[in-house]
């Protein structure tokens, strides 16, 4: 792929992110943009697992919760510096992912889905029950994130932090997908047996990408915690896990920019439906079904196939 | 010492003894074919040697090292490559990328370095692309190198698998029915390709039903029947063996 | 001892519901290789609809009948509108479709009937029996009795009737079944309808004991799935045994270890089973031909 073609979408994204503040009228819109960016990064990591490697995780919000609560608990109860807590949270999430991944990824299909589901639910229940540390169902406040006395506060500052993180995540994901590691991952999805005989230790790769996506999720959980200033157990619950999977699936599996689109659309949706609480669930469900039946590859790949050439290989 | 030595190899699936006490040796640089009626256990034998199945009994030695029960990805490290009877092409990737995966072990596979785009990664990737293109030319697929694997016809995909296997720079290549499903023209092309591969110094082990191709191309032939070794020898010897003729009663030799 | 019996009784009671849900999962899985994540919502529908009709003045037997047949119709719709159009999609896609369906069903009930918890009178009163120092509610006996009847009826249906055998044939080999004249499309529809009805029956029976609300379906369904995995995917006997086991283990753990983590127990159980015995107790072996 030529240099320009490779970097064009990233440049476009950078330009959009730079110019966006000019059209955002007030903090409310900054807030939505920030939440979209947070979701996009989590979804990016999840997409590497689901779309590119062809696996599934129905409990990913659990990792988001671990990061969020690490950033809440460790500074508050143990006096740790928020940045250290963030790294520790990501470390815990990665460790849990690494431990359960090996046995889990020997399974396929429904079993894999159920195992990840079970993991996510267990994490959510633990968070809800250990009230002395976590504040229980009501949640707990989170101290501000800062370094050397400078604290990130206010929507505008957070916007730039997230814009930078978003660009970095997209750049890093693009690099990963085009690399030998990324090819092995996609080959694994295409044919496990073939990739094995080519020297790909399939289980190790599945574990690696699961851990990586858990790492992304946890970091963004921490960011969310510091941004909102408060954490509640529903960050880690089953519905949140389904929301994340929906974003992957609607935007486009195995599509980096699909992750962005999916996150943007499905973060905006609850805002639009905020007065119709029950309908939010129904609409989500309808969208999921509709997309999976008629556009199983997701929006971006389906549109790309419609208007693109016979060329292939992710985007 | 032969490159590949198989000693008393056996495997049973439930009550079915798919392979029973099979022993043979393949010398370096030869084209060695395994033939037998349907259900004789040829693909099972392949799967045993290439690590897809674990034998219940017996020894397999590659280059003197014991490999029975090793996982397929470990065998790739030892210079073993194979193609599949039922085609295992990654349809979600481009033709070129499929070939590049073959060279997987020759590249830096580190995740962090990849994400951060360490210097040298991009250059090595471009080099690998060139090599992959060369290989596609070698197998006669230069027309397809910009295309997705899913847009390629069956015959081309069979050759793509061979290109992918060659990308691994193997010392021994296992071809599982490379001519299956091909017409006579395509079969002749595969015949020629296998010769080219063998001439380049790679030891080839072949499972094939097309007798014309087998007799044409093989240095030695192993005949299996009902999972057991029937006989082994040169094309001439095998062709004239009465037991072989009896086992194949009715088919064209 | 009486404490043990108490936990045992409550475990078997809820275990029977899990068993019904598990049978529903198994039925659909055998007919179509789909794991129906919406199965739990059928349980919820059974309870909620029974409540709704009784509250609207409908006599109890009719209300219960409606509470079972309407979910069956919903099951039919699910198959027709969501599963059939996507019949050759891959596993992940189908899982997500059924999750979407469960969201739709749950959301609609939430909008229509609200978020409150509801119940209705037990079938034969609330006077508990005293057995070995433990109390056993009459409703529990209804749950166990009806479930046992249903299991026997299903067994008879599948092993003695032509229709039942047709369904089994389809699950073994759809193409072969079609070739001998089995209408596989009907089989699929019936499987979904029957599976929904099974779930609904469980919901109807359990509500007087545990109450019902718009979101009971998630946990009940998921635990039903745990039962399937424990018993072995595809095995009817496994579904029943698995359901009872999950119910009992959950009750024992909640009683003897910690009631706060009661809900986590089935999921810990499923991870343990998936790690050490993925085929479950009665499950079949599967190999891939290369």
In the predicted structure, residue A131 carries a pLDDT above the cut 90? no
* Domain assignment present for A309: no
By Cβ distance, the residue of A175, A183, A313 closest to B115 is A175
In the predicted structure, residue A312 carries a pLDDT above the cut 50? no
* Domain assignment present for A5: no
In the predicted structure, residue C281 carries a pLDDT above the cut 50? yes
In the predicted structure, residue A111 carries a pLDDT above the cut 70? yes
Contact B117 A311 (CB under 8 A): no
- B239 alpha-carbon distance from chain centroid: 23
By Cβ distance, the residue of A118, A121, A279 closest to C107 is A279
In the predicted structure, residue A184 carries a pLDDT above the cut 80? yes
| CA–CA distance, B232 with B249 (Å, rounded to integer) | 18
Q: How confident is the model at residue C31 (pLDDT cuts 50, 70, 90)?
A: confident
Contact B76 A172 (CB under 8 A): no
Nearest residue of chain C to residue B85 (CA atoms): C290
**Using the 8-state DSSP alphabet, how is residue B151 labeled?**
G
Q: Token digits for B152? A: 């390629």
**pLDDT score recorded for residue C102:** 92
- A:100-119 residues touching chain C, CB 8 A cutoff: 100, 103-104, 106-111, 113-115, 117-119
* Domain assignment present for A95: yes
* Domain assignment present for C87: yes
Query: Domain residues for A75?
Result: 32-235
Q: What percent of chain C has pLDDT over 90?
A: 23
| CA–CA distance, B170 with B180 (Å, rounded to integer) | 23
By Cβ distance, the residue of A118, A281, A294 closest to C107 is A281
Q: How far is A183 from chain B (nearest CA, A)?
A: 6
Q: Which residues of B touch A212 (CB under 8 A)?
A: 111
Q: How far is A66 from chain C (nearest CA, A)?
A: 17
* Coil vs helix vs strand at B219: coil
Q: Which residues of A touch B168 (CB under 8 A)?
A: 198-199
Q: How confident is the model at residue B43 (pLDDT cuts 50, 70, 90)?
A: confident
Q: Which residues of B touch C290 (CB under 8 A)?
A: 43, 47, 52, 84-86, 88
Contact B73 A254 (CB under 8 A): no
Split into its structural domains, chain C has a count of 1
Task: Looking at mean pLDDT, say which of A143-147, A214-218, B40-44 comes out highest.
Answer: A214-218
In the predicted structure, residue B205 carries a pLDDT above the cut 90? yes
Q: How many other C-beta atoms can be found within 10 angstroms of the C-beta atom of residue A302? A: 17
In the predicted structure, residue A197 carries a pLDDT above the cut 80? yes
Assign 3-state DSSP to chain C and report helix, strand, coil percentages, each to 5: 75, 5, 25
Q: Which residues of B touch A312 (CB under 8 A)?
A: 92-94, 147-151
Contact yes or no for B222/B33 (Cβ under 8 A): yes
**Domains defined along chain B, listed by start:** 1-79+170-253 (3.40.50.300), 94-169 (no CATH)
**pLDDT score recorded for residue A148:** 67
Q: Which residues of A touch C225 (CB under 8 A)?
A: 114
In the predicted structure, residue A278 carries a pLDDT above the cut 50? yes
Q: How far is B162 from chain C (nearest CA, A)?
A: 17
Q: How far is B21 from chain A (nearest CA, A)?
A: 25
Q: Which residues of C touch B85 (CB under 8 A)?
A: 290
Q: How far is B81 from chain A (nearest CA, A)?
A: 7
Q: How far is A269 from chain B (nearest CA, A)?
A: 31
Model-level pTM? 0.86
Q: Which residues of A touch C278 (CB under 8 A)?
A: 106-107, 111
**Could you give the C-alpha distances from B73 to B104, C164, C167, C284, in angstroms and in order?**
11, 46, 42, 28
By Cβ distance, the residue of B101, B110, B116 closest to A198 is B101
* Domain assignment present for C290: no
Q: How confident is the model at residue A308 (pLDDT cuts 50, 70, 90)?
A: low
* Domain assignment present for A147: yes
**pLDDT score recorded for residue B134:** 92
Residue C201: name the closest of C69, C98, C112, C110 by CA: C69
C8 φ, ψ (degrees, to nearest 5): -60, -45
**pLDDT score recorded for residue C290:** 45
List all residues 6 or more positions away from A159 whose beta carbon is below 8 Å from its beta carbon.
A21, A30, A33, A34
Contact C86 A296 (CB under 8 A): yes
Contact yes or no for B80/B170 (Cβ under 8 A): yes
Q: Token digits for C131? A: 């057995």
> How many CB pairs below 8 Å do chains B and C form together?
9
Nearest residue of chain A to residue C258 (CA atoms): A129
- Name the residue with higher pLDDT: A290 or C179: A290
- Name the residue with higher pLDDT: C186 or A73: A73
* Coil vs helix vs strand at B234: coil
In the predicted structure, residue A149 carries a pLDDT above the cut 50? yes
Q: Which residues of C touch A115 (CB under 8 A)?
A: 270-271, 274
Residue B83: name the closest of B2, B8, B190, B5 by CA: B190
Write the pLDDT tens digit of every residue in A41-86: 999 999 999 888 888 899 999 999 999 999 999 998 888 888 999 9
Q: Comparing A106-110, B154-158, C50-54, C112-116, which segment has the lowest mean pLDDT?
A: A106-110
Question: C131 and chain A: CB distance < 8 Å anywhere?
Answer: no
In the predicted structure, residue A315 carries a pLDDT above the cut 70? no
Residue A66: name the closest of A42, A34, A101, A32 by CA: A42
Q: Which residues of A touch C290 (CB under 8 A)?
A: 193
Neighbors of chain C by Cβ distance (3+ pairs < 8 Å): A, B
Q: Comparing A158-172, B92-106, B238-252, which segment has the lowest mean pLDDT?
A: B238-252
* Domain assignment present for A221: yes
| CA–CA distance, A131 with A138 (Å, rounded to integer) | 9
Q: How far is B53 from chain C (nearest CA, A)?
A: 10
Query: Domain residues for C34?
Result: 2-276
* Domain assignment present for A180: yes
Neighbors of chain A by Cβ distance (3+ pairs < 8 Å): B, C
Q: How confident is the model at residue A4 (pLDDT cuts 50, 70, 90)?
A: low
Q: How confident is the model at residue C289 (pLDDT cuts 50, 70, 90)?
A: very low
Q: What percent of chain B has pLDDT over 70?
A: 98
Q: What's the rounded mean pLDDT across residues A124-149?
A: 84
Nearest residue of chain C to residue A242 (CA atoms): C99
Average pLDDT, chain B: 87
Average pLDDT, chain C: 85
In the predicted structure, residue C25 carries a pLDDT above the cut 50? yes
Q: Which residues of B touch A313 (CB under 8 A)?
A: 93-94, 97, 148
Q: What's the rounded mean pLDDT across residues A275-303?
A: 81
Neighbors of chain B by Cβ distance (3+ pairs < 8 Å): A, C
* Domain assignment present for A37: yes
* Domain assignment present for A89: yes
**pLDDT score recorded for residue A130:** 87
Q: Token digits for A48? A: 């590497």
Residue C239 CB-density burial (10 A; 0-12 exposed, 13-18 middle, 19+ buried):
buried
Split into its structural domains, chain A has a count of 1
- Name the residue with higher pLDDT: C280 or B26: B26
Question: A168 and chain C: CB distance < 8 Å anywhere?
Answer: no
Q: What percent of chain C has pLDDT over 70?
A: 97
In the predicted structure, residue B157 carries a pLDDT above the cut 80? yes
List all residues 6 or more positions away from A67 whose beta carbon is below 8 Å from its beta carbon.
A86, A89, A90, A93, A217, A218, A219, A220, A221, A222, A224, A225
In the predicted structure, residue B184 carries a pLDDT above the cut 90? no
In the predicted structure, residue A314 carries a pLDDT above the cut 60? no
Nearest residue of chain A to residue B114 (CA atoms): A176
Question: C113 and chain A: CB distance < 8 Å anywhere?
Answer: no
Residue A19 CB-density burial (10 A; 0-12 exposed, 13-18 middle, 19+ buried):
exposed
Q: What percent of chain A has pLDDT over 90?
A: 34
- C:226-285 residues touching chain B, CB 8 A cutoff: none
Residue A241 CB-density burial (10 A; 0-12 exposed, 13-18 middle, 19+ buried):
buried
* Residue of A169, A312, A314, A315 to mutate, interface with B, max B Cβ within 10 Å: A312
In the predicted structure, residue C166 carries a pLDDT above the cut 90? no
**pLDDT score recorded for residue C285:** 59
Question: C92 and chain B: CB distance < 8 Å anywhere?
Answer: no
Question: C270 and chain A: CB distance < 8 Å anywhere?
Answer: yes
CATH code of the domain in which C63 resides: 1.10.3470
């Amino acid at each position: 792929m030529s240099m320009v073609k490779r970097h064009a979408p990233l440049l476009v994204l950078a330009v959009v992110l730079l110019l966006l503040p000019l059209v955002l009228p007030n903090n409310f819109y900054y807030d939505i943009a920030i939440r979209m960016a947070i979701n996009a990064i989590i979804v990016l990591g999840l997409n590497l697992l689901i779309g590119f490697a062809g696996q599934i995780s129905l409990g990913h919000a659990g990792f988001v919760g671990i990061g969020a609560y690490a950033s809440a608990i460790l500074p508050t109860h143990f006096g740790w510096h928020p940045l250290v807590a963030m790294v520790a949270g990501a470390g815990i999430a990665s460790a849990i992912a690494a431990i359960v991944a090996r046995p889990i990824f020997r399974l396929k299909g429904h079993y894999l889905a159920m195992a990840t589901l079970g993991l996510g639910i267990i994490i959510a229940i633990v968070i809800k029950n250990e009230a002395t540390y976590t504040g229980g169902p009501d949640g707990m406040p989170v101290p501000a994130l800062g370094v050397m006395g400078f604290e990130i506060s206010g929507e505008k500052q957070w916007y730039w932090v997230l814009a930078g993180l978003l660009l970095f995540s997209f750049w890093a994901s693009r690099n990963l997908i085009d690399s030998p590691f990324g090819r092995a991952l996609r080959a694994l999805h295409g044919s496990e047996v073939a990739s094995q005989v080519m020297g790909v230790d399939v289980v190790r790769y599945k574990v690696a990408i699961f851990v990586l996506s858990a790492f992304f999720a946890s970091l963004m959980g921490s960011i969310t915690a510091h941004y909102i200033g408060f954490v509640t157990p529903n960050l880690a619950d089953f519905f949140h896990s389904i929301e994340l999977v929906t974003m992957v699936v609607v935007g486009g599996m195995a599509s980096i920019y699909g992750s962005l689109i999916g996150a943007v659309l499905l973060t905006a949706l609850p805002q639009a439906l905020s007065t119709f609480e029950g309908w939010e669930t129904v609409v989500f469900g309808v969208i999921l079904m509709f997309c999976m039946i008629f556009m199983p590859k997701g929006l971006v790949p389906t549109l790309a196939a419609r208007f693109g050439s016979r060329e292939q290989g992710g985007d | 010492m032969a490159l590949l030595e198989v000693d008393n190899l056996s495997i049973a699936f439930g009550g079915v003894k798919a392979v029973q006490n099979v022993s043979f040796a393949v010398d370096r640089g030869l084209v060695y074919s395994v033939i037998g009626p349907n259900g004789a256990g040829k693909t099972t034998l392949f799967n045993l040697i290439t690590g897809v199945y674990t034998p219940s009994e017996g020894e397999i030695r590659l280059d003197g090292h014991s490999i029975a029960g090793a996982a397929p990805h470990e065998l790739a490290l030892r210079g073993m490559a194979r193609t599949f009877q039922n085609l295992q092409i990654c349809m979600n990737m481009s033709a070129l990328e499929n070939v590049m995966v073959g060279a997987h072990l020759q590249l830096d596979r580190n995740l962090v370095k990849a994400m951060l785009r360490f210097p040298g990664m991009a250059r090595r990737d471009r080099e690998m692309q060139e090599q992959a293109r060369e290989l596609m030319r070698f197998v006669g697929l230069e027309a397809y190198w910009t295309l997705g694997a899913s847009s390629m016809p069956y015959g081309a995909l069979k050759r793509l698998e061979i290109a992918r296997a060659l990308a691994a720079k193997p010392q021994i290549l296992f071809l599982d029915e490379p001519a299956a499903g091909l017409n006579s023209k395509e079969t002749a092309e595969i015949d020629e390709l296998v010769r080219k591969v063998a001439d380049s110094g790679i030891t080839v082990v072949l499972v094939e039903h097309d007798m014309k191709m087998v007799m044409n191309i093989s240095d030695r032939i192993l005949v299996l029947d009902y999972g057991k070794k029937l006989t082994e020898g040169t094309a001439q010897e095998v062709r004239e063996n009465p037991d072989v003729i009896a086992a194949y009663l009715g088919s064209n030799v | 001892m009486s404490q043990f019996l108490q936990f045992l009784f409550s475990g078997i009671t809820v275990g029977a519901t899990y068993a019904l849900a598990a049978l529903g999962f198994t039925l659909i899985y055998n007919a179509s290789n789909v794991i129906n994540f919406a199965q739990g919502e059928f349980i919820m529908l059974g309870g909620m609809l029974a409540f709704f009709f009784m509250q609207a003045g409908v006599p109890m037997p009719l209300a219960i009948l409606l509470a079972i047949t309407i979910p069956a119709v919903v099951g039919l719709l699910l198959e027709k509108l969501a599963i059939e159009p996507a019949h050759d999609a891959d596993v992940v896609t189908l899982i997500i479709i059924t999750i979407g369906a469960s969201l739709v069903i749950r959301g609609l009930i939430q909008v229509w009937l609200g978020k409150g918890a509801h119940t209705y009178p037990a079938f034969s009163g609330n006077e508990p029996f005293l057995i070995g120092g433990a109390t056993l509610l009459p409703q529990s006996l209804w749950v166990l009795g009806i479930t046992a009847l249903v299991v026997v009826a299903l067994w008879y249906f599948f092993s003695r009737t032509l229709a039942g055998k047709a369904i089994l044939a389809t699950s073994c080999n759809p193409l072969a079944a079609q070739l001998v004249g089995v209408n596989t499309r009907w089989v699929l529809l019936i499987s979904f309808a029957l599976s929904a009805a099974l779930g609904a029956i469980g919901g109807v029976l359990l509500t007087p004991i545990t109450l019902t609300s718009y979101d009971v379906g998630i946990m009940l369904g998921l635990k039903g799935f745990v039962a399937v995995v424990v018993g072995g995917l595809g095995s009817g006997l496994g579904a029943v045994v698995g359901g009872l086991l999950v119910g009992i283990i959950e009750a024992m753990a909640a009683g003897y270890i910690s009631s706060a983590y009661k809900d986590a127990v089935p999921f810990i159980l499923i991870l343990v089973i998936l790690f050490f015995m993925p085929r479950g107790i009665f499950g079949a072996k599967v190999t891939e031909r290369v």
